[in-house]
Amino acid sequence: MEADMSLISLVSRASVLVQLVMLSLLAASVLSWTIIFTKSKVLKLAHEEAMRFEDQFWSGINLADLYNRLKKKGEERQGMARIFESGFAEYVRLHKRTSSSDEMLIAGVQRSMKVSLAREEDKLESNLSLLATIGSISPYVGLFGTVWGIMRSFTALGSVQHASLAMVAPGIAEALIATAMGLFAAIPAVIAYNRYSEKVDRLMGSYENFSEEFSSILQRQSTVEADALSKEGE
């Protein structure tokens, strides 16, 4: 009589430990794909918003008008808009202090933007470490289930006088499913992690470039205003 080698039958006949391994790998795979689809939307939106804000910023609009326009939207800003908002708000606050020198003013603006940069980086990189963890450990978890299943199959042969390949094949097949599930969970997670890490690096690079350019613009503006005030004093 031939053994039933269907996938459902093999999984149902596996030992409890191997079934737990399979269940954990299935959960890891579902979690991985959830993160992949969610992170794809987040990064796409962040890229689109960065492009949209850069178009506004470099359109020649007055910085104060752009700041007020962002404030009127009444929604939480993110990405470049958030960096700009924090930097300009600090610039206005320090500019009102007559004792603040240009160096102190720009240093304060840069510190404020660095804080916003760090927060944006945390948002963009959220759950990426989880993808890396799933991609790293899933094959080993699957391999553990495989080793346990094969060991169980060969142990069972010790009580049989006439062993055959037909007797051990179902047990080995059951065990190898765990390895396949481990790879199924790991491969998409690793690919997504590498791809999204590159996208995050590019976005952070554009954010950092913008903050440097914005600091330079504010420094020039502060210098021009200081020169104008000195001429009026004369």
Residue 229 has pLDDT above 60, yes or no: no
Residue that the structure tokens 């404030």 belong to: 71
Is residue 118 a part of any domain in this protein?
yes
Among 59, 65, 118, 54, which residue's Cα sits nearest to residue 88?
Answer: 65
Is residue 58 a part of any domain in this protein?
yes
Task: Give the lowest-confidence range in 32-41, 91-100, 220-229.
Answer: 220-229
Number of structural domains in the chain: 1
Q: Rounded mean pLDDT of 8-35?
A: 84
Is residue 1 a part of any domain in this protein?
no
Given pLDDT bands bounded at 50, 70 and 90, which one contains residue 189? very high
Give me the domain span that covers residue 181.
Answer: 7-228
Q: Rounded mean pLDDT of 149-160?
A: 72
Is residue 121 a part of any domain in this protein?
yes
Q: Model pTM?
A: 0.81
Helix, strand, coil share (%) of the chain residues, nearest 5: 85, 0, 15
